[in-house]
Amino acid sequence: VKRNDEVAPPNLQLEERVSSSLNPFKGLNQHKSSTDIPKPTQKSQEEKHKEWDSTISPKEDKSRLGQDTKSDELNMLRKVQQERLQVSHKSIPFTANQFERDRSGTETQHGRKACVHENKMDATSDHDPHEDDDDYPNRHGERHDPAGKTTANTPTRTLEEELTFLKRFSPTRYQVQIGFVPNMKVPAEIIVNDGLEKLLLQEFHDSCCAGEGGNSFIPALRQAANVAALPGIVGASLAMPDVHSGYGFCIGNVAAFDMNDPNAVISPGGVGFDINCGVRLIRTNLTEKDVDFETREKLADALANHIPVGVGVDGVIPCTEEDLDDILMNGVDWAIRQGYAWEEDKEHCEENGRMDTADSNCVSKKAKRRGLKQLGTLGGGNHYAEIQVVEEIYHPQAAETMGIGKVGQVCIMIHTGSRGLGHQVATDALTVMEKAMARDHISLNDLQLSCARIQSREGKEYLAGMSAAANFAWVNRSCITYLTRKAFKEVFHREPDDMSMHLVYDVCHNIAKVEKHVIDGEEKTLLVHRKGSTRAFPPHHPNIPKDYQSIGQPVLIGGTMGTCSYVLVGTPKGMSETFGSTCHGAGRALSRNQSRKRLDHEEVLEQLRKDGIAIRVASPKLVTEEAPESYKNVCDVIETCQEAGISEKVVKLRPIAVIKG
């Protein structure tokens, strides 16, 4: 352990710092070899269970939260400022062993101090959580802990007992009844068919037997039930067929909160980190005959040149800070003014590409800095731009109305979100809401369900910041549309207008919106959170474009890399049963590590080439994580939605070129 090392103070010129003897990095231009500390030994199942059971005593947690009074924070900030201003040459030890106090939680039975932070956070922990809950079933004589010390995530019931709460109502509807987890106000309803039900139960079973590496996750079933325990929730906590485990809310969760209920909450977890991650579809009047193999390769190259993808890549669209503020407030209107978007694009976009609840002041400087350089970029992970052809038409009239009524017609599908700006807005909100929750005495089954009262300052700020991030995402997709039209112009030497490259529709699948819905015959204003779920309004709804009034709102479901995508429309049944929502794609079947082990990236890419798909990826070795085999079958998901009547198939699209990060 090195001590008395000094660091060159920040006020010297950079060059002086580099050459001074106080440069901690001097001479460090070789690979670091660290001492070999062995990996932890594999714990047995029982040990893992026992550790999972142990909790920090709720009182201790509460006292820690109470420490953060405003004056403490101010004092701390003053100290930080003073330290920074000092030009101090006093020695700063490299490791801070003498400063480290043991701040860990209670000791487990094995003498190890462990803090597991997925505990029930309840400011009123001494009170029996089941006291007021008339619906809590005691009839089975379960081994629950009335003092509420056990976490909601730790099943003291056996698997069979848990399963008694799950009831199937119809071939596609599954209910998790009140009492599955504490404080449920409404049931949780999952829309699944038999096949998808098996996957869901498998996930549930896996998590009950503790995951790998001592780190188990909360299964989607339990997450949907935890959401049903949030204050102000209306109807039911819904889960779409592509449901899988996420953070707080599961992916595929739809939850609506009554805006007029002072207790109702808004939760960043119910929107997701990638605010307004969504899909748009651009049509053309080209057909598959116009895009032979060579043209496909040229198009793929052109698109890859025009659209930046992957990590560490800047956008090509110039954007100043003033532009960014304009984008955050005005959304697609800015893009139209600048000339990136066509005027009619706006009508074929949810909310006309602009949420009026946006306020750029509620977006932090950090988030703005992240967004500034990333305008017009695709990102990585499961984001993509695909050139597709219409393969099959199920609803000819709707397809004609949307302008994609011809088999073999070429379209472009773009899937991306609000990039770093949205991620940072969500991250900032999580930190802020943690404190608000303690103040407003919001009790949760899961710390990840970080939320704030909609009417509180934090809630309003998050709604405004989220709307601004959503505007950014729409502008991002508009800029990518512009670049796509440009790329096509370059390859075909024709104007985008001549190729009729109009926007069919743009949907979001990670957002919270204020909508009017009829509940028990009464119209209510609800804040509907959709995480990994797409809005699907029926025909004649006032919020959908005039062009589509007769057919309903188009819903775009992107398939995984190399598999088919679908266009659906919303139905009246969906409006009444799921707040006008449907699925968004396919959930993961294999974890990233598993995909990497089981699949070979060369084979995956070779298979895609064999299928006639021109592919451009920024990180070839990570392609296995996004391979079709790593995901569930999107057809199952679509069929289940069709069977449940919440959306209707219109067109199936097959990819012929893929650009991925």
* Residues numbered 579-618 forming contacts with other proteins, rule: CB under 8 A: 587-588, 591-594, 596, 601-602, 605, 609, 615-618
Is residue 631 within 8 Å of 586, Cβ to Cβ? yes
Is residue 583 within 8 Å of 566, Cβ to Cβ? no
Q: Identify which of residues 409 and 467 has a Cβ nearer to other proteins in the complex.
A: 409
Q: Identify which of residues 179 and 532 has a Cβ nearer to other proteins in the complex.
A: 532
- Binding status of residue 165 toward other proteins by CB under 8 A: no
Q: In the beta sheet, which residues pair with residue 619?
A: none
* From 21, 45, 70, 102, residue interacting with other proteins (rule: CB under 8 A): 102
- Binding status of residue 28 toward other proteins by CB under 8 A: yes
Task: Give the whole-angstrom CA distance, residue 233 versus residue 355.
Answer: 23
Q: Identify which of residues 63 and 124 has a Cβ nearer to other proteins in the complex.
A: 63
CB of 178 to other proteins, least distance (A): 25
Q: Identify which of residues 36 and 523 has a Cβ nearer to other proteins in the complex.
A: 36
CB of 239 to other proteins, least distance (A): 15
- Binding status of residue 336 toward other proteins by CB under 8 A: yes
* DSSP for residue 174: E
Helix (H, G, I), strand (E, B) or coil at 557: strand
Task: Give the whole-angstrom CA distance, residue 110 versus residue 48.
Answer: 11
CB of 39 to other proteins, least distance (A): 7
Task: Give the whole-angstrom CA distance, residue 213 versus residue 223.
Answer: 21
- Using CA atoms, how far residue 186 sits from 172, 175, 190, 323, 516, in Å, is 19, 10, 13, 44, 19
Is residue 388 within 8 Å of 410, Cβ to Cβ? yes
CB of 583 to other proteins, least distance (A): 16
Task: Give the whole-angstrom CA distance, residue 89 versus residue 8.
Answer: 8
* From 120, 395, 415, 502, residue interacting with other proteins (rule: CB under 8 A): 502
- Binding status of residue 342 toward other proteins by CB under 8 A: yes
Other Cβ atoms closer than 10 A to 279: 26
* From 433, 507, 622, 650, residue interacting with other proteins (rule: CB under 8 A): 622
Other Cβ atoms closer than 10 A to 57: 12
* Cβ burial, residue 114 (10 Å; 0-12/13-18/19+): middle
**Is 584 part of the annotated catalytic residue set?**
yes
- Binding status of residue 270 toward other proteins by CB under 8 A: no
Q: Which of the ranges 89-97, 157-165, 522-530, 565-573 carries the binding residues for other proteins, by CB under 8 A? A: 89-97
* DSSP for residue 621: G
Other Cβ atoms closer than 10 A to 208: 17
> Number of residues in contact with other proteins, rule: CB under 8 A?
132
Report the sign of the C-alpha dihedral through residues 624, 630, 636, 642, in that order. negative
Task: Give the whole-angstrom CA distance, residue 630 versus residue 625.
Answer: 7
* From 3, 26, 205, 439, residue interacting with other proteins (rule: CB under 8 A): 26
Is residue 308 within 8 Å of 378, Cβ to Cβ? yes
Q: In the beta sheet, which residues pair with residue 554?
A: 569
Other Cβ atoms closer than 10 A to 110: 12
CB of 213 to other proteins, least distance (A): 4
Q: Which of the ranges 134-142, 252-260, 338-346, 576-584 carries the binding residues for other proteins, by CB under 8 A? A: 338-346
Task: Give the whole-angstrom CA distance, residue 57 versus residue 173.
Answer: 39
CB of 448 to other proteins, least distance (A): 5
H or E, element range at 300: helix 293-306
Q: Which of the ranges 157-165, 350-358, 431-439, 465-473 carries the binding residues for other proteins, by CB under 8 A? A: 431-439
Other Cβ atoms closer than 10 A to 171: 12
Interface with other proteins in residues 457-496 (CB under 8 A) = 482, 495
* From 4, 11, 21, 34, residue interacting with other proteins (rule: CB under 8 A): 34
CB of 457 to other proteins, least distance (A): 19
Residue closest to 381 by CA, chosen among 413, 415, 412: 415
- Binding status of residue 405 toward other proteins by CB under 8 A: yes
- Binding status of residue 104 toward other proteins by CB under 8 A: yes
Task: Give the whole-angstrom CA distance, residue 178 versus residue 286.
Answer: 53
* From 127, 143, 168, 621, residue interacting with other proteins (rule: CB under 8 A): 621
From the candidates 502, 509, 584, 601, which is the catalytic residue?
Answer: 584
Site map for other proteins, 36-75, x if CB under 8 A? xx-xx-----------------------xx-xx-------
- Binding status of residue 10 toward other proteins by CB under 8 A: yes
Task: Give the whole-angstrom CA distance, residue 192 versus residue 238.
Answer: 11
Q: Identify which of residues 435 and 524 has a Cβ nearer to other proteins in the complex.
A: 435
φ, ψ of residue 219 in degrees (nearest 5): -70, 160
Which residues lie closer than 8 Å to 181 by C-beta, 6 or more apart?
152, 222, 225, 226, 228, 229, 445
CB of 215 to other proteins, least distance (A): 5
CB of 520 to other proteins, least distance (A): 35
Other Cβ atoms closer than 10 A to 323: 16
- Binding status of residue 213 toward other proteins by CB under 8 A: yes
Q: Which of the ranges 126-134, 426-434, 460-468, 536-544 carries the binding residues for other proteins, by CB under 8 A? A: 426-434
- Binding status of residue 645 toward other proteins by CB under 8 A: no
- Binding status of residue 221 toward other proteins by CB under 8 A: no
Interface with other proteins in residues 503-542 (CB under 8 A) = none
- Binding status of residue 237 toward other proteins by CB under 8 A: no
* From 21, 71, 134, 312, residue interacting with other proteins (rule: CB under 8 A): 312
Greatest alpha-carbon span in the chain: 78
Query: Any idea which residues carry the catalytic annotation?
Result: 584
